Structure 1
Amino acid sequence: MSLTEEVEALRNITLFSSLDESKLKLLAFTSEWITYQADEVLCKEGEKGEDAYVIMEGDVDIYVDSGDGQLLVTSHGAGEIVGETAIVCDVPRTATVVARNELVVLKITKDVFMQLLEGCPEVAIAVIRELALRVNDGVRMALRGSG
């Protein structure tokens, strides 16, 4: 994929849609495009989080260890980001992310991701909003499970 095609693909991701051309080019240049096959693991719960993944094509399933095995908690698809919680909160991975089908992701290192957040308030706000929504969803699931 050419740099121009990568920039266009990034522009179509809601999280990055407000970035100007130069920032999109920098993001495309400093990140790695990776293809995973179905059932391949992107990251495991408990590992140190060094990268975030923007899903460009395909879907992932998110699992947590329930004590009795892996529990599917949610799924994400194209245009969504996974792995950012460990980076932003500086904690070990909170879940295991597994490719549900053939998957193309943009792997963004912690340093690049943090520079992006520091230099682009609109991206930082979008990430904070996404994290807050995930916490809210988790609380609702916990309340349903306890009642």
Structure 2
Amino acid sequence: MNLETEVRALQRVPMFRDLDKGRLKLLAFTSERVGFSAGQVLFNRGDTSDAAYVILEGKAHALVDAPTGVLKVAEFGAHDLIGEMGVLAETPRSASVVAITDLLVLRIDKDVFLELLHQFPQIAIAVMRELAHRLERTTSRLARTGSPAG
């Protein structure tokens, strides 16, 4: 995958959609492309929140340990942003994220991500909107099924 392909992928991430191509190129250039094999852990619950990730290819899920066993709380696919909650809150990871399939991501360093939000308040609003939607979906699933990933 080359820089242009990464820019096209970033354009499909809802919160980055309004950034001009030059900014997206800079974001892609300053991010690290990382591959994970199916079953490999991107990060564990409790880890330091040092980066956010954009999934370019593949799927992953978020898992938490519960008294009844491991619970899947979310599933992510291409063009999803993950790991941003811990970066924003400056807290350890709230869940473990594991690749379901082979996975290719752009790893956006915490400082780069926060600078992006500082320079472009519309992205910060889009991130907050996405977090609110995730909370609403999880709450609805809990009410309907008793499981956060039902």
TM-score (norm 2): 0.89
- State the match for 1:124 in structure 2: 124
Q: Which secondary structure state, in structure 1, belongs to the residue aligned with residue 26 of structure 2?
A: helix
Indicate the percent of aligned positions where both proteins have the same amino acid.
45
Aligned residue runs from structure 1 range 26-41, under 5 A: 26-41=26-41
- Which residue number corresponds to residue 48 of structure 1? 48
Distance 1:36 1:76 in 2: 14
| RMSD, aligned α-carbons | 1.7
String of CA shifts for 1:105-138, please: whole Å, max 9, x gaps: 0100110000111111221111101111122233
Deviations 1:24-47 (A, max 9, x none): 111011100111110000011111
SS in structure 1 of the partner of residue 92 of structure 2 = coil
Structure 1 residue ranges without an equivalent (≥5) = none
Deviates more, 1:61-70 or 1:45-54: 61-70
Letter in 1 for 2:77: G
Query: Where do residues 1-147 of structure 1 align in structure 2 (5 Å cutoff)?
Result: 1-144=1-144, 145=146
Instruction: Spell out structure 1 runs of 4+ moving beyond 6 A.
Output: none
* TM-superposition CA deviations, 1:60-114 (whole Å, max 9, x none): 0111111343211221110111111100111111111000001110100110000
For residues 8-55 of structure 1, the C-alpha deviation after alignment (integer angstroms, 9 at most, x for no partner) is 232232221211122111101110011111000001111111011101
Q: Secondary structure at the match of 2:33?
A: strand
> Quick one: distance in 2 between partners of 1:61 and 1:3?
26
TM-score of the two chains, using structure 1 as the length reference: 0.91
Is 2:31–2:107's contact at 8 Å kept on the other side of the alignment?
A: yes
SS in 2 for 1:101: coil
Gapped regions of structure 2 (runs ≥ 5): none
